[in-house]
Amino acid sequence: QVQLVESGGGLVQPGGSLRLSCAASGSIFSINVMGWYRQAPGKERELVATITSSKSPNHADSVKGRFTISRDNARNTVYLQMNSLKPEDTAVYYCNLYNYRDKYWGKGTLVTVSS
């Protein structure tokens, strides 16, 4: 089993920044993909960004140029640096780990962008 714990959410004004972190523990295989998804009220969960264990990133078009995903393999931690935040970025952000066999999810952290 794999456990994922997110942190770093909160309330921020439009144009502001936040950094999310997700620490993974348990039976983690060295080859995996970690990522961030988000779910806004009344909407389906959507991909924000993913990054492979070889640190190849992929960002959704809606966040390109504003968000950056990164990871520290030694710490089994993935980060999401969010800049130029917009009200439409308001959502619960979920960490995900895929080891090419199973998918694991964190409990989520709420990001609210509002003045």
pLDDT at site 73: 94
| pLDDT tens sequence across 5-20 | 999 999 999 999 999 9
SS3 assignment, position 69? strand
DSSP structural state of residue 18:
E
The average pLDDT across 67-71 equals 98
DSSP structural state of residue 80:
E
SS3 assignment, position 115? coil
| pLDDT tens sequence across 18-63 | 999 999 999 888 889 999 999 999 999 999 999 999 999 999 999 9
